[in-house]
Structure 1
């Protein structure tokens, strides 16, 4: 592959890696933010769920943007947006400015990821496309997992602000490099974005997320909780109805007529919810209950992250060699075993048990997540694939935000019912128990895969 192709892809991959990496970078800093701004668990989780929500909402629009504008202009624009969000987060004097900074980061990152996938197909010669897409896939499975570990190392020697600061020079360099190296293209397609549909979808998901995030601090039968959830559900139904009667839907609803796509999406939703919430639960357990420093949290999570990076390229081959039922049975059984170990860990600090349990969980997840994505689109007709892949990615991001909000919200309720330090312990155990239940449901659904 010519150096120019490698250089272009390397620039875009680095920028997109930062977006995926930063999605979980703040998870391990939640106790630090709670102490710095004197806020609750329900409030602080917006640092993560807000990022995932905006990423999910940007993904449907990214297809339109990639068709209408050149890759160079898109990369420069959205990498700059990510950079501005990082600067705002680093300088933020209030908690909600931190959240806004994270959401601006997510706005940039939400377009950078699909952009580099398209660039891999466009710039790489045909004989190298498989290798390039394998590398891109490995990067984006590895980046969110390694984020908390790197954050723990940084927090051991510096404040939470450096989780934003470290991103700034790297992204700035990629923007300069992209301006010099990415080719100038004249591209102005005649695509039209369905603003009404995207607006309804955005309002629906935002209202539901706000309602769920208030569960831990307010009565369920109240406007901030139940009212927001009901408004979100109503807007969701309006969105679905509207999509059936427009020529340019945000999501082609035909993809949901395929049973295997729906099953794979449901399993992915459950597992992604548990995977992203798990780093939050572990962080609160290790730093909040066990009173260890952030570096310890990093070392507990790091081996599982490294294992994910090593095995991700192999999991696609496993899908070709073994049946999806066998992979999900083994992978989800390991995930269940690791979660049971976490649920029953003694409150006196047990480093090796926590590390081993997390390693087992990640081994199980890496056996399932990439094969289940392939399974989702395997039986769809080729003309539905361009709609199915963004939809699948969008639901993954929704699971990261909404699923995490549900688990953290119920954890907060359990903690408030008991009160004091015993309440924190009860909340942690409830969080692990909900994750266990979700994985068991996913295992039951996986038996229907073909």
Structure 2
């Protein structure tokens, strides 16, 4: 069936998928700088409003492990159109929200659509393109995946400051409708479906396990690690997830095939993926905290600072994709991480006088580094797998990314709080004439700097792992062996 798809149809398929992916990833980070505005509009507390992000991540994270089953059971058209319809319904509900409950419900429905689209797109690429061409294709897709969440803070800040918050959702609706129409007209199915049976026990275990872990880690930053709810949910999550993993290892037709970790390159890229995701999430949290709490910049100004880096990142993604096809993953990872290390080193000594232009230049350096890592990382991991394990590898990748994002957020907020709180107390003792606002600003700057030291350590660890990546020639020599494994499994 794959052979019947012409080059022209492949391009049309990619355009439709990239458009859907762009809207999905844009939607995920669009509300990050709007949460304080929602607190004023709906008169809710920070703990309540945080559910717009936490709830979205929970639904998304819980759904990802079962996407491998969904891709076996339903066609490409059915899954893609369903994901876009869920995003559309959720956006309409959010745009019309008369209270916080309706807004949260709409956000949860959006998360169902977002949870399907990314693993689906990765699997489609594995089916359509040979390994030697996937880097270029993934680089093109990276334009959407990287550019959308990076411009979201700027776009959101502008809408919040100059228009109504409802336009955060109204603006998505016509574009979603266009993508749905295009999908009905041009999207074709990529692989045959099978009447796969759903393992309900595995679904329950993955939902409880991943759901509890995501909730526990995402709550740790605000509630504290000693909170009974945080401790309980993390412990329950770890135990139930362990039971889920044991069941998958023994199952003949697992919901999530963990045998993907038998492939060295996939396992190695998964470790690096965890560290890079934690660094990315940490920066997206720490930089706005420093700019808004420590320096008094508006949400729009904070978002605007990220824009040049986002543009550079997006336009470099297709270039690094082609470089991956030519040189392999190892030199790209090492180059990218050197840029990341320089960018983290540049913000471990933040002060009240650190200039806006300096921070913008530093963010561009970070984004250059990430463009050498993000999409080549996904491509290298999935290329290491036989085609029939592609959907499982994609689902595992996305599950790891969700958990790493939640853990990274919790860790960096904890480090920030641990450093900022005692520093504020010391300052108040040394200079009793300082106002509470001045103390809070200085403590925020100090906390951000120390949290970046933590991220710098992560960057060095990721660089160490990258050195163990095999060279392109070594991977190519192992391809015949992989083909034999693939043939024996089919």
2:466 corresponds in structure 1 to 446
Are positions 1:172 and 2:177 aligned together?
yes
User: Unmatched 5+ residue regions in structure 1?
Assistant: none
User: 1:74-99 CA deviation, whole Å, 9 max, x = no partner?
Assistant: 33322121112222333445556544
1:400 corresponds in structure 2 to 405
Assess, with a 3 A threshold, how the Cα gap between structure 1 residues 434 and 206 changes in structure 2: closer, same or farther. farther
Counterpart among 290, 294, 305 of residue 300 in structure 1: 305
User: 1:179-216 CA deviation, whole Å, 9 max, x = no partner?
Assistant: 45556999863112233223212211221222223334
Assess, with a 3 A threshold, how the Cα gap between structure 1 residues 59 and 314 changes in structure 2: closer, same or farther. same
Are positions 1:70 and 2:75 aligned together?
yes
Are positions 1:147 and 2:167 aligned together?
no
> Helix, strand or coil for the counterpart of 2:451?
helix
User: 1:321-378 CA deviation, whole Å, 9 max, x = no partner?
Assistant: 4464433333212112112223323224621011011111111111122223333244
**Pairwise CA distance, 1:121:** 7.3
User: 1:362-406 CA deviation, whole Å, 9 max, x = no partner?
Assistant: 111111222233332444445434422321232123323332233
Contact 2:124/2:190 (8 A) holds in 1:
no
Partner Cα distance (1:133, 1:449) in 2 = 19
Contact 1:27/1:283 (8 A) holds in 2:
no
Assess, with a 3 A threshold, how the Cα gap between structure 1 residues 387 and 124 changes in structure 2: closer, same or farther. closer
Are positions 1:252 and 2:257 aligned together?
yes
**Pairwise CA distance, 1:268:** 0.9
Contact 2:157/2:303 (8 A) holds in 1:
yes
Are positions 1:22 and 2:42 aligned together?
no
**Pairwise CA distance, 1:411:** 3.1
User: 1:386-431 CA deviation, whole Å, 9 max, x = no partner?
Assistant: 4223212321233233322332344345445547514433443343
Assess, with a 3 A threshold, how the Cα gap between structure 1 residues 44 and 425 changes in structure 2: closer, same or farther. farther
TM-score normalized by structure 1? 0.86
2:363 corresponds in structure 1 to 358
**Pairwise CA distance, 1:219:** 5.1
**Pairwise CA distance, 1:153:** 2.8
Counterpart among 192, 197, 202 of residue 197 in structure 2: 192
Partner Cα distance (2:384, 2:135) in 1 = 21
Are positions 1:113 and 2:118 aligned together?
yes
Contact 2:91/2:172 (8 A) holds in 1:
yes
1:223 corresponds in structure 2 to 228
Partner Cα distance (2:276, 2:222) in 1 = 26
**Pairwise CA distance, 1:31:** 4.0
Contact 2:139/2:319 (8 A) holds in 1:
no
Are positions 1:387 and 2:407 aligned together?
no
TM-score normalized by structure 2? 0.80
User: 1:23-50 CA deviation, whole Å, 9 max, x = no partner?
Assistant: 2222232443455556676665543344
Contact 1:345/1:354 (8 A) holds in 2:
no
Assess, with a 3 A threshold, how the Cα gap between structure 1 residues 42 and 441 changes in structure 2: closer, same or farther. farther
User: Unmatched 5+ residue regions in structure 2?
Assistant: 1-5, 426-435, 471-490
**Pairwise CA distance, 1:302:** 0.7
Partner Cα distance (2:43, 2:298) in 1 = 19
Are positions 1:428 and 2:448 aligned together?
yes
Contact 1:83/1:171 (8 A) holds in 2:
yes
Partner Cα distance (2:135, 2:218) in 1 = 41
How many pairs align? 450
> Helix, strand or coil for the counterpart of 1:374?
helix
